Amino acid sequence: MAPIDYGVFRMLRFIFLLSLLSFAAGGSANASSDKKAEAQAYLDRYVGTWKGELSIESSGKILRTLPLAAEYWKSGDAVKGLTAFEVDGEMTFVESSNYFRNGLLFADVTQKGETVTYRGFLKENRLVWIPYDAELNTERQMKERFVEEDGEEILYVDGVELLRSNGGTAKILLRARMVRE
Confirm if 160 and 140 have CB atoms less than 8 A apart: yes
Distance of CA 94 to the CA centre of its chain: 10
Question: Which of 22-31, 142-151, 159-168 is least confident?
Answer: 22-31
Supply the pLDDT for residue 138: 63
77-120 pLDDT tens trace: 899 999 999 888 899 999 999 999 988 899 999 999 999 899 98
Question: Which of 44-48, 52-56, 103-107, 162-166 is least confident?
Answer: 162-166
What is the mean predicted confidence (pLDDT) over 47-68? Answer: 95
Residue 134: pLDDT band (50, 70, 90) is low
Nearest 10 degrees: Cα torsion 19, 6, 87, 175: 40
Query: Is the model's pLDDT at 16 over the cut of 50?
Result: no
Most confident of 65-74, 86-95, 112-121, 135-144: 65-74
What percentage of residues in the chain have a pLDDT greater than 90? 55
Query: Is the model's pLDDT at 10 over the cut of 60?
Result: no
Query: Is the model's pLDDT at 26 over the cut of 60?
Result: no
Fold of 6-180: Lipocalin (2.40.128)
* Claim: this prediction has a pTM higher than 0.85: no
Q: Which class for 86: exposed (0-12), middle (13-18), buried (19 or more C-beta within 10 A)?
A: exposed
